[in-house]
Chains A and B, each alone.
Chain A
Amino acid sequence: MKKIYLSVLGFSLLCRINGYAQTKSDTALNKPTPSLYEPIHIEGDPPVYNPRALRVDEVNFVTSYYTQNGNHSAVTGGIGTEHVTDFANALTLNLVWGDAATRKNTLAFGLGVDHHSSASAAFVSKTGASKTGGSRVYPSLDWTTENAQKGTSFGIGSYYSGEYNYRSLGADLHFSLKTHDRSGEFTAKFQGYFDHVTLIYPSEFIPQPTVTTTTVTTVTTASGRTISGSSGGEDGKANIPSSPRNTYTASFGYSQIINSRLQVALLGDVVTQNGFLSLPFHRVYFKGGKDTIERLPSSRFKLPVGFRLNYFAGDNVIIRSYYRYYTDDWGTHANTANLEVAYKLSPFFSLSPFYRFYTQTAAKYFAPYEQNLPSQQYFTSNYEYAQFNSSFFGIGARIVPVGGVFGWQSLHDLEIRYGHYSQTTGLSSDVVSFSFGFK
């Protein structure tokens, strides 16, 4: 019995000592209440991580290889090879600073570099001697500030794109506003592109200078505009003039959570373009065989409206759907439907087969090779404006392992996607893309 008393006494004493074990050397009771947003700092530790400091949030790299074949090139008036290859690469870097609880700032740098080859480009020159390859470089910069408490965001962006026959400068303003219960969000974006199309004509249509001095060359473009280009260079050759093309877009969107598995979004753009909207090296052959260059109106109004619906079915299947109706004042009406079913084989790996159907009516200025009439005001044989249907199908895979892709902790996710595209015009293409996400 004495042993039992002593054991109980010893055990209670031990508990008593343990109860004070932390209070002697630690001053936990004097510490401030821990916050979700403020890291706990223990004296003697290295300086705390400050979430307000500028840091790299995410880096993404997308690379694609695209190849295409067809037999309706616009360069040769709606006949001839459309073989194209394109190697496209885009890098985005997101820097974040500020307090996630109140105001968060994101600075997104983007840089894209594409290199393409186009077999039909050789025939800008009648002899097929023009260069068939080119590169495009397109950097971008976007700043967004987000107020998590108010559920609002505001940002501005800028873009540049340059290639041998096209230059573009763009800017935008964008903002968003969440509903009071955070189940819906309204977004708006106002965008302007200020482009210049270099007036590279087919060799047989290179305009002869109408007025020439030592410094200024004036040419008349396909649309009847008169443009002056300055002479330059030691060889005395005139610089090729360019013509402006402006695009203004107002984009609106509203997304809504319907329940814990379903969310939808309604999207719409109002687009107006003006300037030189055709491309100067696109030929048109009239009935009878006489050729000229494409001529299209100097303004265009576009109105696309889209609807997205995503549904999480069961535990492993996600249905992603999209529909768009499009109309413009050149007479084209188009419908696009896209369905993708993502199947999660594990929480970290999913496969996503997809199918996209597209149909459009012809623009009123389109006619095939030798079908346009010289009496028409506007004409094109670019099959982009023809009536056709197209199908695009393929499969994607997404890998997001806990320890990083291939064990590389920084490589957060990897997406691979292949698609085959075919038009009823005979054009077909294949594209394979890889997306690498780094954290």
Chain B
Amino acid sequence: MVKVLACGLLMMSAASCVQVKEYQKNKLNDAEMALSNRKVEKNELNFQSYREAASGANAGKTGGGCGCN
């Protein structure tokens, strides 16, 4: 887990971030580029939380709220 965290932080810090102006964000603002689950995935995430032991870190359920674990 520590390795994953370290890798993630390393990738983010190592990547040369560029100042992106508002008018240059047309691609970033595309709905498909959203850093979140699609709305249509909502129920898929639910059934995965019932069938698999792992959950969370995806803005979905982390346990509780349903008969799943």
B43: nearest residue on chain A (CB-CB)?
Answer: A64
Interface with B: A10-18, A26-34, A96-104, A302-310, which one?
A302-310
Chain A residues with CB under 8 Å of B52's CB are 334, 358, 360, 384, 390
Contact A415 B62 (CB under 8 A): no
A89: nearest residue on chain B (CB-CB)?
Answer: B43
B19: nearest residue on chain A (CB-CB)?
Answer: A181
Q: How far is the CA of A406 from the CA of B63 in the complex (A)?
A: 39
Count A interface residues, CB 8 Å: 100
Contact flags B43-69 to A (C-beta < 8 A → 1, else 0): 110111011111111110011111101
Chain A residues with CB under 8 Å of B27's CB are 260-261, 312
In residues 181-204 of chain A, which contact B (Cβ within 8 Å)? 181, 183, 191, 193, 195, 197
Interface with B: A49-57, A159-167, A209-217, which one?
A159-167
Q: How far is the CA of A200 from the CA of B5 in the complex (A)?
A: 41
Chain A residues with CB under 8 Å of B46's CB are 88
Asked if A322 CB lies within 8 Å of chain B CBs, one says yes
Contact A193 B28 (CB under 8 A): no
Asked if A122 CB lies within 8 Å of chain B CBs, one says no
CB distance from B40 to the nearest CB of A (A): 4
CB distance from A141 to the nearest CB of B (A): 14
CB distance from B24 to the nearest CB of A (A): 5
Contact B35 A245 (CB under 8 A): no
Asked if A221 CB lies within 8 Å of chain B CBs, one says no
Chain A residues with CB under 8 Å of B15's CB are 258, 262, 264
Contacts across chains A and B counted by CB atoms under 8 Å: 221
Asked if A60 CB lies within 8 Å of chain B CBs, one says yes
Chain A residues with CB under 8 Å of B40's CB are 62, 396, 415-417, 433-435
Chain B residues with CB under 8 Å of A323's CB are 4
Q: How far is the CA of A139 from the CA of B26 in the complex (A)?
A: 35
Given contacts A396-B38, A435-B38, contact A324 B66 (CB under 8 A): no
Can you report 13 A-B residue pairs in the complex whose CB atoms are below 8 A from each other?
Answer: A86-B43, A170-B65, A183-B20, A257-B17, A258-B17, A260-B27, A271-B56, A302-B62, A305-B1, A307-B4, A310-B35, A360-B54, A431-B43
Q: Which 5 A-B pairs have the closest CB atoms?
A: A247-B64, A193-B64, A306-B57, A326-B54, A304-B57
Give 11 new A-B contacts, CB below 8 A, not counting A66-B47, A324-B57, A360-B54.
A165-B67, A181-B19, A259-B18, A263-B33, A269-B57, A306-B58, A326-B53, A342-B32, A392-B48, A415-B40, A419-B44
Which chain A residues have a beta carbon within 8 Å of chain B's beta carbons? 60, 62, 64, 66, 68, 86, 88, 90, 136, 138, 159, 161, 163, 165-166, 168, 170, 181, 183, 191, 193, 195, 197, 245-247, 249, 251, 253-269, 271, 273, 277, 279, 300, 302-308, 310, 312, 318, 320, 322-328, 330, 332, 334, 336, 342, 344, 350, 352, 358, 360, 363, 384-385, 390, 392, 396, 398, 400, 413, 415-417, 419, 421, 423, 427, 429, 431, 433-435, 437
